Amino acid sequence: MVLDARAPIRHVLTTLGLVLAGTVWFVLFRLGLAGPAWPVYWLLPVSGTVATYAIVRMTHQVTLVPEVRRFWARIAIACASVSTGYTLLAVDVSRNSIGNRPPPIGPIAASFIGLGLGMAIWAVASVPMGRPRGSQWRLLLDRSIAFFGLAALLWHFCVAPMLDAVDPWSDAGIALVALACLLAMGGVAKVSYVAGGPVDRTAVRLVAAVGLTAAVMAMLAVQMGWGGDVPGQAIVLPVAPLLLALAVRSQWQAALTPPSAPERPAGSLLPYLAVGSVAITLTAVATGNMSWTDRLAMLLAVLVGLLVTARLGVGFRDNARLLAERQQSEEQLQHEVTHDGLTGLANRALFRDRLAAELRVRDAVSVLIVDLDDFKTVNDSLGHAVGDRLLVSVAEALRTAVGGDGLPARLGGDEFAVLVCDRPELGTHVAQRVLDALGRPLGPDRLLVQASIGVTTAAKGTTLDIALRQADVAMYAAKQRGKAGFVAYTPGMEKPILTHIQLGGELRRALDAGEFRIHYQPLMRLEDRIVIGVEALVRWQHPTRGLVPPGEFIPAAERTGLIVPLGRWVLRESLRQFAAWLAEFGPDTIQKLGPNVSARQLHDPDFVGDVREALAESGVPAERLVLELTESEVLRGRQVLLALHELHELGVRLALDDFGTGESSLSLLRAFPASIVKLDKSFVDGIEVDDGDPAAADARQAVARAVSQLAGALRLDTVAEGIENAGQVAKLRELGYTLGQGYHLAKPMPPEQMRKLLRAQASRPVVAAP
């Protein structure tokens, strides 16, 4: 059922309007401008009817638990009964008033009012209030203080004057005043210590406050006689229906909004108010017919009580401040335990707890794993301070992109996550929003960063680890598909990913077991096919799969970091073999050794030291070692360039492999200490084709010609890669290339076969290389 949230507001405004109308009427009455007093007796019946209607409407439109429904049903009966009694009184006053003096209340009207007050007492006394804080003895003591403190005040000002009055009160009048006082005392004593419960806290307190209006009305009647009836009927009694209307609104609102955090009970101040009420009572007694000595002693006792109360109040305030500071510290500590210190996002522990909890109660949730692509380059090239600022900016972009659709978290390093609970079908939409947010320059450094995102939707009952593994698998699939995108998990997707992960474990074993081999591809002079150098290429001799090509295991070695120890082994083993060939065939037989180097190796702070040690162990001169690396690896940041310059100063030569396919080839030739440029195979393919169209032939040869001329101007050696036929050799020689490499010249071969080739070459005269 759709609740009309405006209905309780209308009831409140109506009863408030009646209170204001009664107040205005009373002012006019005191000025002699309002006429007879009997119309004001109809305010309570009218406003009471409005309050009763508000309660009944709420019980029919709002879904309430049985205990709450019974409470409000009793309050509705009490309100209707009191309104009926005052309606009978209003009719009697309208007919039988003598001037502005009302007639005594009739027995039937008194019975309805008494029944209503009794029903209200029963409702307040029986309502469940939840489990209170502290011990039962402390609660009983606090309630007793409140009850008897208010009892002392009401006894002196309400009940005692009735019993001592010269004109005796009727039994009905005494009973009604006693019930009103009992409702005020019992209601205040109970609901001031509300700790929760099914009935709204504020609503219960407002209902209990109705008893105070009855007690005030009783005080006016006792202290002023029938003269207190007019202000009571005009101002005091209409407040009771207003309080009930406010209580209905509070209960109605509680049905529309989730429960708030438990508040500190207002009853913690009530004992001090009770002591104050006793002090007021004693002061009133002291001003009566007593000797001055007795009066002074009682006033001093009151003063001491007030001072003690003030002292306790100061202590209470200090304790409250200390508790608030402690709570704030605990909340801060809890926040630090569950949130990332750098970005302020939820951390891994909080994310796992939330995910596990949601998987237990929701039909489905979506999990996103967001991994930044190549973030290590930022740290290595620009420093960790810039990297931290970028992570903060990424977290802010993630928080904005996710919005209210999920919980963003930082799992650690450059890995983030998002939990989408309310609408799990939004998982892929949130992933796209994250990619869009990361597609703009971020932070004060205005850096661009990309991310690979894995998305999975986990059903209720799925374990925490399975949901995270599925999202992880999807994220790795996104990286394998080119990065900077998202992939949604599908069953079976983990098989190739798992194979890839298992491959990393096998690589570690293979490295320890010595299963890797090095093949050497000759680098030849094009004019006479003399071998002047070799490129060292690693191969994996798998015990069951045979010879595994590098394209299958090098990416896994890069991802796992095993490329560093593997590259170190390739460097030492190829230098050892190169030194053996030099010793066997002479220093002029072969001039260059070219192992490939990855960007991961160049980021290793020990790489330059490893090269220095390997050269020293092998005895190979540094100028004969040519480290081959691609343009994209050179562009990996400041750490890489520093390592390359150290190698250059050591005497090691550097070669740009696959030249022409990178992003900044021309600028690299000036910034990078290269000695050799290797023309990529893509610019060699088709260079020999002669289709009779000179313009097309020039276009195919343009890059190769430009690279040769540029390298010549910069005094760099050039090598053409991927030569597959004699026609390409002839055309490359025409364009100025003197060195080449490819299957047409020689395929990669094991050391034994390379040794045979070098022996055959050593048996004939060697012409000096250009």
Q: How many CB atoms lie within 10 A of CB 127?
A: 24
Name residues whose C-beta falls within 8 Å of residue 685's C-beta, 6 or more positions apart in sequence.
Answer: 722, 724
Question: Which residue type does 20 have?
Answer: L
What three-state secondary structure class fits 561? coil
Q: DSSP E strands: which ranges in 220-352?
A: none
Question: Which residue type does 340 have?
Answer: D
Q: How many CB atoms lie within 10 A of CB 753?
A: 14
Question: Which residue type does 65 have?
Answer: V
Quote the CA–CA distance of 661 and 630 in Å, as a whole number.
9
Phi, psi values for residue 749, rounded to 5°: -145, 155
Residue 688: which of 738, 630, 735 has the closest Cα? 735
Quote the CA–CA distance of 239 and 269 in Å, as a whole number.
24
Quote the CA–CA distance of 598 and 657 in Å, as a whole number.
11
The DSSP code for 596 is: B
Quote the CA–CA distance of 247 and 77 in Å, as a whole number.
15
What three-state secondary structure class fits 38? helix
Signed CA dihedral, 168, 172, 176, 179: sign only: positive
Integer CA distances (angstroms), 441 to 371, 431, 450, 479, in order: 17, 18, 10, 21
415-420 vs 407-412, strand pairing mode: antiparallel
Residue 640: which of 313, 379, 427 has the closest Cα? 379
Residues 154-163: contacts with CB within 8 Å, 24+ apart?
A: 154/181, 154/184, 154/185, 154/215, 154/218, 154/219, 155/281, 156/281, 156/284, 156/285, 157/219, 157/222, 157/223, 157/281, 157/284, 158/215, 158/218, 158/219, 158/222, 161/222, 161/223, 162/222
CB 503 within 8 A of CB 528: no
Quote the CA–CA distance of 413 and 182 in Å, as a whole number.
66
Integer CA distances (angstroms), 607 to 372, 374, 568, 598, in order: 26, 20, 8, 11
What three-state secondary structure class fits 721? coil
Residues with a known catalytic role: 721
Question: Which residue type does 136 have?
Answer: Q
Question: 56 burial class (0-12, 13-18, 19+ CB within 10 angstroms)?
Answer: middle
Quote the CA–CA distance of 34 and 186 in Å, as a whole number.
38
Name residues whose C-beta falls within 8 Å of residue 526's C-beta, 6 or more positions apart in sequence.
Answer: 720, 729, 732, 733, 737, 738, 739, 740
Quote the CA–CA distance of 600 and 598 in Å, as a whole number.
5
Name residues whose C-beta falls within 8 Å of residue 721's C-beta, 6 or more positions apart in sequence.
Answer: 657, 658, 678, 679, 680, 681, 684, 740, 741, 742
Phi, psi values for residue 406, rounded to 5°: -170, 180
Residue 740: which of 541, 511, 528 has the closest Cα? 528
Integer CA distances (angstroms), 679 to 527, 607, 732, 735, in order: 18, 26, 11, 12
Tokens 């202290």 appear where? Answer: 223
Quote the CA–CA distance of 241 and 220 in Å, as a whole number.
19
